[in-house]
Structures are given as C-alpha cells and as structure tokens.
Structure 1
Amino acid sequence: MRLLTSRLRQALYSSSSAAAAASYLPTSFAPRGGISRALTTCIHSSPSLHSLNNSESLLKPHRFLAFPWSATQLRGVKLRGADVKPGNVIERKGKIYQVVKTQHTTQGRGGAIIQVELRDVDSGNKVNERFRTDEAVERVFAEEKPFTYLYTDDETGNIVLMEPNTYAQLDVPKHLFGDSYVFLQDDMRVCVQLYDERPMSASIPTRVTCTVAETPIQVKGASVTPQYKKAVLDNGVTVQVPGHILPGDKIIINTTDNSYMSKA
C-alpha cells in the first residue's frame, strides 16, 4: 500500500509540473507529441520573460523547465531606453547591435531622450539612434566566456583565440574589439560575449603593460621638466606620459581611454 501511494504521489507531481511548464509556453509551442518536445524548443518571446528578472522565479522548477536556456541566455527581455548602457547588446530593426556610447539630452517640452551610438555586430558599422526614456528596447543577453589570444590572421584580419579548457580555436572579427585590439598581446586573457555560439563583442583587460618605444629625453641643463609629454608605445599607440618616463620603460596603460596609470 505504501509503494502504491508513493507512485501515485510521484505521478501527480510529474503531471502538475508538466502542466505548469506548459502554461508558460506560447500557443505556437503547444505540445503535440508530448511536453518534452516543447520544453526543448528555444523560445524567442513570451510575456512571462519579464518576471525572469526576479532571481527567485528562476529557482522555481516549472520556470526552469519552461526556459531551459535561461541560466546562460535570455531572449525577448525588454529594457527602458533610460536603462540602456554601453556594452549592452540589443536587437533593433532585425539587426544585432552593441551599445558603444549613450548620452542623455533634454529637448524642452519634448522630454528627455537618449542619444545612442550603436555598432552593427555583423558589419562593424556604427549608427546613431535616439531612444525615448520610456521606449522599450529588446536586449540580448550574451554568454560571457574567457579566451586566450593566439595571433592575428594576416589574410582575414580576424583575431584567433583559444578556449583555455578545450583548446578549441575561435575566429573573432577584429572590429568586435573596437580600438583596443592594438593592445592584444601573446597569451593575453580576453573576454568574448557569445549569442548562440556566435561572437557578439570582445574586450581586453583594462590594465595592460606596454613598453615605451619613443619619447623626448630631457636635455641636460634644462631647468624645467615637462609635466607630461608624448610617448609612442611598442604597439604604435601615442599616449601622454609624465616627464620622467624614458624610452624602454614599461608602463601600465588604461585601455578604456589610453591613459597612463603608472610605471610597471
């Protein structure tokens, strides 16, 4: 009798879990050949995705079953225009963009708007758009993975990276790194955002050690040492450095704005 009761309880729980999961599926994904087929289907949009911002809802079994990809990638999530930040990946007019810059402006009675610079992930071209502060923007949540820089392919111009655990190689278009690709160094750890295993954006560490290749040397007898002067790094980038820096010195550069931080 105890065994029968246990099996009946398990059957009821399975049935209720499947029904709960099915209730979160769009009509177009209604199961025909069983709930398992619908649960393994990638869901592109659903009103219930807004509630996934609550961490507690992700812990509910029926939510995780309905959205098995939610642990790494969320789709169909809306942002307000006012909440768009540099680095966000968004979908707009059927294309995928990375947000490069944002600027809040006010237009008198017209209210506040967000001036946004976007980079087309496919072409690398940049476009400018305006969002209302209350405008709904489709955000793409990308999976972030660490990689190691190997080399730059001279023929394609792509950056060749290696996944440190599997040693699998990944070709990333140079423009995904923006202007910071010039700071890539052998065996440097970089970060790549992937969406459906496709690279969306890439970034390097904010602190990088470089060698000064050229910079003016103070003339003996000069009474005044310049506070800052130009220096050309070993990668060809020109930065402003303190007057005491000499050719051959190793310095730490902030790669977000190419500014001098300190001697290495």
Structure 2
Amino acid sequence: MIRATCYMIRATRYVLHEIHMLGISEIKLGSVAKVDGEPYVVIWTQHVQMGRGGAILRTKIRNLISGAVLERTLKGADKWESADLERSRASFLYVEGDEVYFMEAETYEQFSLSAGNVGSAVNYLVEGTEVDVLKFEGNPVSIQLPTKIKIKVTEAPPGIKGDTAQGGSKQITLQTGHKISAPLFIKEGEEIVVNTETDSYVERA
C-alpha cells in the first residue's frame, strides 16, 4: 500500500506599502507630507534659483496635529515622505472656546479639532455644514470645505441708487461674522454663493 503524504503549504501574504517621496518640484501649496514623523500641510512656498543651476525651496508648513507653523528649506535632492491621509464626511456642530466640534456622517460620533487646525475654514462653518475630514493614522487632524457654499448675509450697507450687476462693491457680513466684498446690489437677508478657496463672492444663491 502506497501512502500519499499531503503537505499543506501556507503562503504568507505580505502587503507592501509604497512610500512616495516628494521632491522640490513636486512640493506645492496644499501638499501634505510627513516631516519628523508628523503630518504637515504646505501653506507657503518660494523657489529660489541658485548659481550653477542649483535651486532651493523655502516653505512654511503647518502641523496638522498641533497647528504649529514651521519654516523649512529644501535643497537639491532633499525629499519629504508623502503623508497618507484618510477621508470621511462630517457635519459641523458648534464652537466652544478654542475647540470646533463635528459629527461623523457614518458613525454619528462627535469629535473636536482645535481652532488652529480648522484655520480660516471656521469663517464659513454654520450648523450642519458638511466637510471632508482628513485623518492621519485614524485620528482627525483637519477639515476641507467644499469649494463653493451657500451662506446668508446678515449685514449689508444700503446700496447707491442705480446699483446694477456691473456696479462697484461693498463689504458685507456673513452669518458667521466673517466679512467679504460683494456687489452693491446684495442686500441683508439674501443667500449668496461664496468661493471658500478665494474667500470671494460668486453669485446669488
């Protein structure tokens, strides 16, 4: 009798995480990179051409965890590791002190971010505003607003007789207290569309 011995071969599966490095030519405003093990977003850049074809990149970067701003300069072959950020949806709840509170769309869990991490986005946050939440290693670190949002005008100086869509501009106050320039014909109580990236009026809602 011939015995057949069966051997089970277990294949070990390795998942390799590809690390993407950002060179001087790839680092731009809004780039998110790992610096000293923590996630930073680039908020200012200046390319400087040096002698003999060399170049350096001056940057200002904001820590997505602490909100601290640093200045860093990269030369030649210097590179930063791109930071992997997860995204989820949430809605704005309220502000209490220096903390801004949100609720996750899927889990309904509430969390807060420091005002420093939310930055100028707070100028357009009204109750229920939906945002993208950026997470680093599972923890919320920042948010991104839609490029365009609808928001109510709470104060608008009276226009000048004969105001038209082609007229001048005036400063108005939004329901968050933020002030922007808008056409003379915009009135208190109206809803308008605002570009959150350029901090500017787009059109009537």
Q: Which runs of 5+ in 1 are unaligned?
A: 19-61
- TM-score between both structures, scaled by the size of structure 1: 0.67
TM-score (norm 2): 0.83
Cα 1:218–1:167 shift into 2, 3 Å: closer
Shift of 1:168: 1.4
Measured in 1, the distance between the counterparts of 2:183 and 2:162 equals: 19
Matched with 1:118 is 61
Aligned mates of 1:163, 1:142 — CA distance in 2: 16
| CA apart distance, 1:263 | 0.4
Q: Does 1:172 align with 2:107?
A: no
After TM superposition, give the deviation of residue 221 of structure 1 in Å.
Answer: 7.1
Output aligned runs, 1:62-211, within 5 Å.
Answer: 62=13, 65-67=14-16, 70=17, 76-109=19-52, 111-132=54-75, 134-154=77-97, 157-211=98-152
**Distance change >3 Å, CA 108–CA 228, structure 1 → 2:** farther
Deviations 1:2-44 (A, max 9, x none): xx79x65xx34x3xx32xxxxxxxxxxxxxxxxxxxxxxxxxx
Determine if the alignment matches structure 1 residue 236 to structure 2 residue 177.
yes
Q: For residues 88 and 200 of structure 1, do their structure 2 counterparts lie closer, same or farther at Cα, with a shift above 3 Å needed?
A: farther
In structure 2, give the amino acid aligned to 1:83.
Answer: E
Structure 2 letter corresponding to 1:241: A
- State how far apart, in whole Å, the 1-side matches of 2:15 and 2:71 are: 37
User: What is the distance in 2 between the residues matched to 1:149 and 1:213?
Assistant: 20
8 Å CA contact 2:33, 2:83 repeated in 1: yes
- 1:37 corresponding residue in structure 2: none
Letter in 2 for 1:246: K
> Which structure features the higher share of helix residues?
1
1 or 2 for the larger relative contact order (CA 8 Å, sep ≥6)?
2
CA contact (8 A) 1:90 1:138 kept: yes
Alignment partner of 1:247 is 2:196: no
> Secondary structure of the residue that 1:182 maps to in structure 2?
helix
Question: 1:121 offset after TM fit, Å?
Answer: 2.7
Percent of residue pairs bearing the same amino acid type: 27
Whether 2:198 is the aligned partner of 1:257: answer yes
Structure 1 residues 231 and 108, CA gap change in structure 2 (3 angstroms): farther
Q: Distance in 1 between matches of 2:76 and 2:148?
A: 34
Higher strand share: 2
Structure whose CA Rg is larger: 1
- When the two structures are aligned, how many residues end up with a matched partner? 201
**Structure 2 gaps, min length 5:** none
